[in-house]
Amino acid sequence: MKTFIISGLLILISAVGAWADDKIPTVLSNKEAIALVQTHADYVWTLVAAALVFFMQAGFAMVEAGFTRAKNAINIMMKNLMDFSMGSIAFWAVGFGLMFGVSKAGWFGTSGFFLSDFTPGGDPWVLAFWMFQVVFAATAATIVSGAMAERTKFSGYLIYSFFISALIYPVFGSWAWGGLYKGGGWLEHLGFIDFAGSTVVHSVGGWAALAGAIVLGPRLGKYGKDGKVRPILGHNMPLAALGVFILWLGWFGFNPGSTTAANKDIAMIFVNTNLAAAAGCVLAMFTSWMKFGKPEVGMSLNGALAGLVAITSPCATVTPMSAIIIGAAAGVIVVLAVLFFDRIRIDDPVGAISVHGVCGAWGTLAAGIFNIGGTSLKIIGVQLLGIGACFLWVFPSAFLLFKLIDVTIGLRVSPEEELEGLDFAEHGGNAYPDFEISHAGGVGTPEGHGFLKTKPASEKMLGKPVEQT
Amino acid sequence: MKTFIISGLLILISAVGAWADDKIPTVLSNKEAIALVQTHADYVWTLVAAALVFFMQAGFAMVEAGFTRAKNAINIMMKNLMDFSMGSIAFWAVGFGLMFGVSKAGWFGTSGFFLSDFTPGGDPWVLAFWMFQVVFAATAATIVSGAMAERTKFSGYLIYSFFISALIYPVFGSWAWGGLYKGGGWLEHLGFIDFAGSTVVHSVGGWAALAGAIVLGPRLGKYGKDGKVRPILGHNMPLAALGVFILWLGWFGFNPGSTTAANKDIAMIFVNTNLAAAAGCVLAMFTSWMKFGKPEVGMSLNGALAGLVAITSPCATVTPMSAIIIGAAAGVIVVLAVLFFDRIRIDDPVGAISVHGVCGAWGTLAAGIFNIGGTSLKIIGVQLLGIGACFLWVFPSAFLLFKLIDVTIGLRVSPEEELEGLDFAEHGGNAYPDFEISHAGGVGTPEGHGFLKTKPASEKMLGKPVEQT
Amino acid sequence: MKTFIISGLLILISAVGAWADDKIPTVLSNKEAIALVQTHADYVWTLVAAALVFFMQAGFAMVEAGFTRAKNAINIMMKNLMDFSMGSIAFWAVGFGLMFGVSKAGWFGTSGFFLSDFTPGGDPWVLAFWMFQVVFAATAATIVSGAMAERTKFSGYLIYSFFISALIYPVFGSWAWGGLYKGGGWLEHLGFIDFAGSTVVHSVGGWAALAGAIVLGPRLGKYGKDGKVRPILGHNMPLAALGVFILWLGWFGFNPGSTTAANKDIAMIFVNTNLAAAAGCVLAMFTSWMKFGKPEVGMSLNGALAGLVAITSPCATVTPMSAIIIGAAAGVIVVLAVLFFDRIRIDDPVGAISVHGVCGAWGTLAAGIFNIGGTSLKIIGVQLLGIGACFLWVFPSAFLLFKLIDVTIGLRVSPEEELEGLDFAEHGGNAYPDFEISHAGGVGTPEGHGFLKTKPASEKMLGKPVEQT
Amino acid sequence: MNKIEAIIKPFKLDEVKDALNKIGVNGMTINEVKGFGRQRGHKEIYRGAEYQVDFVPKVKIDVVVDSALVNEVVEAISKSANTGKIGDGKIFVLPVAEAVRIRTGETGKSAI
Amino acid sequence: MNKIEAIIKPFKLDEVKDALNKIGVNGMTINEVKGFGRQRGHKEIYRGAEYQVDFVPKVKIDVVVDSALVNEVVEAISKSANTGKIGDGKIFVLPVAEAVRIRTGETGKSAI
Amino acid sequence: MNKIEAIIKPFKLDEVKDALNKIGVNGMTINEVKGFGRQRGHKEIYRGAEYQVDFVPKVKIDVVVDSALVNEVVEAISKSANTGKIGDGKIFVLPVAEAVRIRTGETGKSAI
Ligand SMILES: Nc1ncnc2c1ncn2[C@@H]1O[C@H](COP(=O)(O)OP(=O)(O)O)[C@@H](O)[C@H]1O
Ligand SMILES: Nc1ncnc2c1ncn2[C@@H]1O[C@H](COP(=O)(O)OP(=O)(O)O)[C@@H](O)[C@H]1O
Ligand SMILES: Nc1ncnc2c1ncn2[C@@H]1O[C@H](COP(=O)(O)OP(=O)(O)O)[C@@H](O)[C@H]1O
């Protein structure tokens, strides 16, 4: 009888809820307390991961600047700054709601705009979740700037940048990830596997980059007659390498952070992420060695990124051994893809389309093939469907967007401005005023080994291009 | 009888589980264990945040180097290294005790010097707390070096650097934050809100920077007759942008870490920090666009920092929507402030006074105005009091310190040394020996578009200054 | 009656709350749950620390590039990329098993190759642990590349890089750290203290670097007759300083992360790590000031690293005050060591042997001398034994390895390739094509103040060396 | 022999070089220079202050040829470097007393 | 016509340029060079080793003018570039056979 | 007086400088240039595309001496700069009408 009363008491007390030190602890109050500590760990991990993913913005900026010419370095910094800054505002106002809001039909969300799901005093999880998602949205946006570097009009770029974060990325995202919060998309309902976003983030960025590069056309002097390729040298390889190391670091937030929970799963995700990147880097180096006779730095750097992009989707659902295979394949694929896009005269200064678009698709497919729980035609079919759906949504809509910008305010700078360099033409500045800049055989602005002519198509050049095999 | 059975049960059970340590768990032992796990999470979060804040030192170094001339890059690295290294020692020996030691009158602490509060085997929280606080102290110190760049004598700078970390910063800190540990300051007793230090860290640094810039005077050639401004170009914009990205990352430790506890509050702090930075960056860009006709990179970078500084104080006590407004305002304020200080001929090469001093004050005021719990004249009054108290303590004491250094060992290098560059004059080195340096229209050392003359005030120059509007 | 009570209980419990899952919590289930949450915190901390240590790769790359010539910058990026990428694969396949596998005799492990200890669904701790260990292995490997910079054949370097990660590092590691997992080495059984690896990681790297530098011989033109030293200037000091800041950050993962557990011990380790680095930096600066008349940046940067290396072993077992002494001593030692190795004509472009080899040994000894629990001749004896064992295993084996590479595929490039620069010779590239490169008094490739001759030993040079004191 | 110094717009270098090759002149030395003249530099902005950059980047081509060829060379350069816009540059012809090929010690015409 | 080559201290460039403008010479070409002469370079330190940098950074001004103006130009340069300290530099006057303005094809005086 | 312009391989600069010092010539001005001639540049690769760099980095030495010394100077340079390989460079001798030392105003031989 006594016991009854006591236990009843305890239960009642605990029923009252959140334990406080002055209260007598009970089994139930302890259980709640344990859950709360775990929740705190989840917040910390999710937000630390978000910080690491944010830092990838610096990585993208350095890679892109390093792989392009000194005369456009300021413009690249400005684009990357704005991708994240305007993107954050756009995703706060519109994107998040479209991606994670309540979605009846499974095509896009319709609630939670302006972070309206958060009320002071209420559960702040939506804020932690938003923080983690906004850095993903900005990643998709900034991928594109690399492929459009050195010739895009800044004002036009800003318009694009707003729309990819507010519309193009969130809509596809809602199909695959809406269910992570209040939404629910048709693709995830079919069982589409894209743990951290090989398709949702990277392919989206990659296919938008493809559309942008096509609408813009190549940089002056990039291609000669007969499809001859004239390399336009990146001006700072250590900066590019630093960018890749930063991106690699950021991916340790990107992939394991996608658990948005502090649990044991992150261990395998870390290992897979690292091994795929390593394998991609090594294979890309050897591939470049075989194809060009020397281990080439640009390809090796792209190879590490290719491995990272490829493992993004399967990182939580394949074995480390599979991760190595997936990354290694990506390392080979990216080299061939870069050469391929050059051959079809799509000018992508940093290889964004190959790294993010192509390897993103490969990784998504690989998630089906190497699935730790076994694979099946159905699984692979759904993965292919997701890959296709991504291309079919992103490429046309981005293409349309760029065309609209082009015919209205204009997407590309004038040839004079391009020769002069965007830093002066668009920003009235000079990235390296203390350094003597070399014009050897080039134009009236920093030029590397300069291959530009007044008549771009002209065959006259200092650096004779060599037919690729 | 019952009791026997129960205890017997417990014994058996505990005997069973491999997991069981020798102690029999009880509701109370579990409660303690839960508290311990939470404590571990607090340690991890606080120290990870401290690491991120430490990294801001790299950000400051890159921003400052990027915004100044190649001939002074080594000197800037040395100052930033020493701000943190000597500052750590100074804060360990003196500063921490003054700031967080027992404080009877509420004016400064008097215990805990040399980390004497820690005894081996004792509670190590003081160490975790010190680690988090020392990186804040170093931040205040390093802010100043930017405003004093390119003309300060290294030995004089070291003296200053020691005293700001040992004295100026800790004393004000004890007024507002002493109560976070053993102290307790008059300002916090009045209810002054400065969660992460818009005033305590940034304004302190900013007003000391103002004093330094005034005592030093402008760099040779910076100002012509009739207040004409001759820009002295920063030598490396990508480096400056990298610095801003690093600082932004570090702020994700600076603001949310100020909880020094792993809890749910950090989510809103993350979001507010990010949105304010984004808004500041966007608004500064548009402001520069309107004022100068082009979106200028230097101002855009300053804008992001302005937003971050402004949200530092209110980050935990305003809504995300307010954070955007606060950051946006900071983005406009910083542009006007930079132009203002140039107009009154206070030469601040990196804009430290505008970013940290002015926007720090704005953020502290905003914490009162936008307070999530509602505002009042009293709240705003206390905020204004804190802002004023900071200026009235820091500016005079720093001014005095710099004057004393000036009349004793000297604060400024000779004109010859300044023309030659501090890298050679002070450190006997050369930051970029492999690169050809341009003297176009400049002096016998790296000069950007060089506007220096033997007679600084002379009107003759290559770059004709344009009256500012 | 009883039943009533129970059912009553059940009803009440389920009534209590949203938090309740179907299981009825008990004291024991709570204890398990608490242990699980702690485990999650351990995973998060260990892996976040691993990410920070990974980032040290970027730091090494920047320091090394900054301290060498522009003409070799690409080669340095490639070596650092491959140290980590090939190293990751090698450590996955072989190294981890040798280091942490079951070790009967205590000389090396024999199980766990290819991460075979992990089975899907099984305990993933081995993955978290591997992730933390692989970044340590890569650190040891990449230390060496600095000492061998600017003259090593890339293909030969790759072979070396594989073997240090697969063999040299893991074997010694198994002696000291094997017991952290399934192994158990003779050295740890004697009570050898090397908490985070002053010896296991840094001295291993440093002595291998010594072997490499000796086998290679000095760079062309580094030493004149009569042991005169001709400085070959590093081409980018801001990059080198950025690298040091990144390394300092990474060390906040390297040392405290070595707990591989989220507990209170990390606080003192953070503080000690930071104070030792600060003291090392300050003392190295003052030492250079006294010896050369100016505070020299290269030595100051090395000083910070020296302090970090020295505190790596004792970080968990000495007081903060001792940490300052240990770091300060390292700051002096590193300056003298750099001068010493130059005097005996061992050409180490970045000071890797002095920083990692010498200061690693000092730190390991210091762990015995300053041991918080008191010291004894026995303790110091064991420390010295460990230091000696490290040298006796690493130096001969690395020497042999480099000799074997030298006589087979070759370890050093031709003088022509060295003059031309490895970027072109080995990678067919150019790190800075947009910048005019200065050859003042130098060779036909980027050269800084160039001191090279066709006849290296010749006395003719632009920069007249000054006898060192 | 004469030395022809041509100061041209940088992006014209390739064309001028090709034009010279066509008339059989394969040796030349080029140099990055900064020019002042009728063509003005442009305005730039830095952190809110506008300023005028007076100089214009130019490339200077030095080519030494036998006097007989001077007119042809000057012709070739002025044609290929011409855009008709201000700032096209100048060509100066200087007398050269002697030329030596370091490798062989040849002198005079055969040296160039 | 003559070509005047002046090698001056870099920080004197603006003054020399202004002096030339004053006497009506607006066109010139400048170039970063390294000088060796009586003025020595300085000692620097790198990671503990001290070394001597022999060269001194200089700026070279090329200006081609009508022979009638040579003295005036030389005058203007030497006045404006003079500091009286070692290393002020040199002025060399070279004969010029012909000058062409690429844009217009003008030759002789009218070309400069 | 004459101006000797020597275009040499960069890594030969120190030797040439020393050779000139030996015969008492201590003043000179050097300049980084890019050379085109028989010696070709090399092939480089960038992200998979191979390309030819035509120019070769060279250093140009300007030294003005009394006509009496010209042969000796040319001699010294060609000896010290010679490697016998293609690309060793050229030496050109130009007449100089006048020389001025800015610091002192000295003219003629005494100025150099
Ligand atoms: N008198 C001169 N001496 C040497 N160089 C000159 C002279 N005048 C012009 N130049 C060079 O020629 C370049 C072009 O001259 P400029 O007057 O701008 O246009 P244009 O060639 O159409 O006359 C200048 O930038 C400068 O480098
Ligand atoms: N004989 C020479 N030929 C070419 N340039 C010279 C000659 N002598 C000196 N110079 C240049 O003039 C500069 C100044 O000469 P220097 O002897 O140092 O001082 P000063 O001008 O007072 O005589 C040198 O740095 C060099 O660039
Ligand atoms: N006609 C010329 N005018 C000016 N410079 C020349 C001329 N011919 C060659 N040069 C310079 O001399 C350098 C060497 O000439 P090159 O033909 O390559 O080899 P070599 O010196 O053995 O004849 C070239 O790189 C170029 O800088």
Residue in chain A closest to D13 (alpha carbons) equals A441
Residue of F9, F12, F13, F53 to mutate when probing chain C, most C C-beta within 10 A: F13
Q: Is the CB of D47 under 6 A from ligand 1?
A: no
Query: Which regions in chain C score pLDDT beneath 70?
Result: 1-22, 226-227, 440-469
Q: Which one has a higher pLDDT value, A13 or A250? A: A250
Smallest Cα distance from D108 to chain F, Å: 10
Is the Cβ pair C427, A296 closer than 8 Å?
yes
Interface test mutation site (partner F, options C437, C454, C455, C458, max chain F beta carbons within 10 A):
C454
Instruction: Compute the mean pLDDT over every residue in chain F, rounded to the nearest whole number.
Output: 92
Q: Which residue has the higher pLDDT, A2 or B210?
A: B210
**Res. B265: pLDDT tops 90:** yes
Q: For residues B316-340, give the mean pLDDT.
A: 98
- B274 and A131: CB-CB below 8 Å? yes
Mean pLDDT (whole number) for D57-84 = 95
Q: Are strands D2-8 and D89-95 parallel, antiparallel or unpaired?
A: antiparallel
Give dist(CA B269, CA B261) in Å, integer. Answer: 13
A341-346 average pLDDT score: 95
Indicate which of B56, B274, B288, B451 best probes the interface with A, i.e. most A CBs within 10 Å of its own CB. Answer: B274
Q: How far apart are CA A338 and CA A466, in angstroms?
A: 16
Question: Across the interface, do E91 and F112 touch by the CB < 8 Å criterion?
Answer: no
pLDDT at residue B394 above 70? yes
Distance from CA of F90 to the nearest CA of C (A): 16
Ligand nearest the Cα of residue D69 is 3
Q: How far is CA C103 from CA C167, C178, F40, in A?
A: 15, 8, 60
Predicted pLDDT at B444? 30
Look at residue A366 in the predicted model and tell me its pLDDT.
98
pLDDT at B429 over 90: yes
Q: Which atom of ligand 2 is nearest the CA belonging to E60? A: 27
Q: Are B215 and B402 in contact (CB under 8 A)?
A: yes
What the block records as the tokens of C85 is: 């990428």
Rounded mean pLDDT of chain A?
90
Q: Do B242 and A34 touch (CB under 8 A)?
A: no
pLDDT of residue C144: 97
Query: What proportion of chain E, given as a percentage, has pLDDT over 90?
Result: 73
Question: What pLDDT is stored for residue C255 in this prediction?
Answer: 98
What sign does the CA torsion over C55, C57, C63, C65 have?
negative
| pLDDT of C14 | 38
What proportion of chain C, given as a percentage, has pLDDT over 70?
88
More confident residue, D33 or B438: D33
CB C414 within 8 A of CB A217: no
Query: Would you state the pLDDT for residue B238?
Result: 98
C-alpha distances in angstroms, B338 versus A144, B212, C49?
Answer: 33, 16, 40
Residue C8: per-residue pLDDT: 39
Taking the CA atoms of residue B165, residue B171, residue B176 and residue B180 in that order, the dihedral angle to the nearest 10 degrees is 70
Asked if B130 and B64 count as a contact pair (C-beta separation under 8 A), the reply is no
Least confident segment among A11-20, A196-205, A261-270: A11-20
Banded pLDDT at A380 (limits 50, 70, 90): very high
- The percent of residues in chain A predicted with pLDDT above 70, rounded, is 88
Considering only CA atoms, which residue is closest to atom 6 of ligand 3?
D28
DSSP state of C294: S
> What average pLDDT does range A237-255 have in this prediction?
98
Q: How far is the alpha carbon of C360 from chain E, nearest alpha carbon, in Å?
A: 20
Q: What secondary structure letter does DSSP report for C223?
A: B
Q: Cα separations (Å) of B379 from A143, A224, B269, B367, C9?
A: 45, 69, 21, 9, 50
Closest partner CB to B440 (pick from D46, D47, D55): D55
Minimal Cβ distance to F59: which of C427, C439, C460: C439
Which residues of A are less than 8 Å from C44 in CB distance? 41, 44-45, 48, 262, 266
Q: Give me the DSSP letters along C180-216.
A: GTT---HHHHTT---SS-IIIIIIHHHHHHHHHHHHH
Rounded average pLDDT over E67-96: 95
Q: Do F92 and D105 touch (CB under 8 A)?
A: no
Q: Whose CA is nearest to atom 6 of ligand 1?
A: E28
pLDDT score recorded for residue A22: 58
Q: Name the band, by pLDDT with cuts 50, 70 and 90, for residue B256.
A: very high
Contact D93 E96 (CB under 8 A): yes
Alpha carbons A304 and A294: distance in angstroms, whole number: 17
CB contact under 8 A, F29 and E38: no
> Around B462, how many Cα atoms within 13 Å sit in the side-chain half-sphere?
32
Q: Which residue has the higher pLDDT, A327 or E52?
A: A327
CA of D12 to the centre of ligand 1 (A): 15
Chain E positions touching C293 (Cβ under 8 A) are: 45
Contacts of C38 in chain B (CB under 8 A): 37, 40
For residue range A251-277, what is the model confidence (pLDDT) as tens digits?
999 999 999 999 999 999 999 999 999
Q: Give the type of residue at A1.
A: M
pLDDT of residue A393 exceeding 90: yes
Mutation to test the D interface, candidates E5, E14, E20, E103, most D Cβ within 10 Å: E103
Contact C449 E50 (CB under 8 A): no
E26 Cα to the center of ligand 1, angstroms: 8
CB contact under 8 A, B296 and A427: yes
Taking the CA of residue E110 and the nearest CA in chain F, the distance in Å comes to 22
Cα B84 to Cα B90: distance, rounded to the nearest angstrom: 10
* Alpha carbon of residue B403 to chain centroid: 23
pLDDT digits (tens, 9 = 90+) for F95-105: 999 999 999 99
Residue D92 has pLDDT above 60, yes or no: yes
Highest mean pLDDT among A157-166, B10-19, E51-60: A157-166
Residue F5 has pLDDT above 80, yes or no: yes
Q: Residue A451 C-alpha to ligand 1 middle, in angstroms?
A: 25
Ligand 2: residues with CB < 6 A are E 7, 35-39, 56, 58, 86-90; F 27-29, 62-64, 101-103, 112
Residue E40 is predicted with a pLDDT of: 80
Say which residues have a Cβ less than 8 Å from residue B290's Cβ, sequence separation at least 6. Answer: none
Q: Which of residues 15-44 of F touch E (CB under 8 A)?
A: 17, 26-31
Atom of ligand 1 nearest to the CA of E112: 1
Cβ–Cβ gap F82/D96 under 8 Å: no
Q: Which of A192, E16, A382, C245 is nearest to B142 (CA)?
A: C245
Per residue in A351-383, is it b (16+ CB within 10 Å) or e — as a string? bbbbbbbbbbbbbbbbbbebbeeeeeeebeebb
B98-124 pLDDT, tens digit per residue, is: 999 999 999 999 999 999 999 999 999
> With contacts defined as CB-CB under 8 Å, which chain F residues touch D101?
88, 90
pLDDT digits (tens, 9 = 90+) for C1-25: 344 443 433 333 333 343 445 578 9
- Nearest C-alpha of chain D: how many angstroms from F61? 12
Atom of ligand 1 nearest to the CA of D36: 25
> Which of A231, A335, A462 is opposite residue F46, by nearest beta carbon?
A231
Q: Which runs of E-coded beta strand occur in chain D? A: 2-8, 28-36, 43-46, 49-52, 56-65, 89-95, 98-101
CB distance from A462 to chain D under 8 Å? yes
Residues E101-112 have a mean pLDDT of 92
Measured in angstroms, the CA of B153 and the nearest CA of chain A are apart by 22
- Considering only the beta carbons, identify the residue of B235, B237, B268 that sits closest to A77: B237
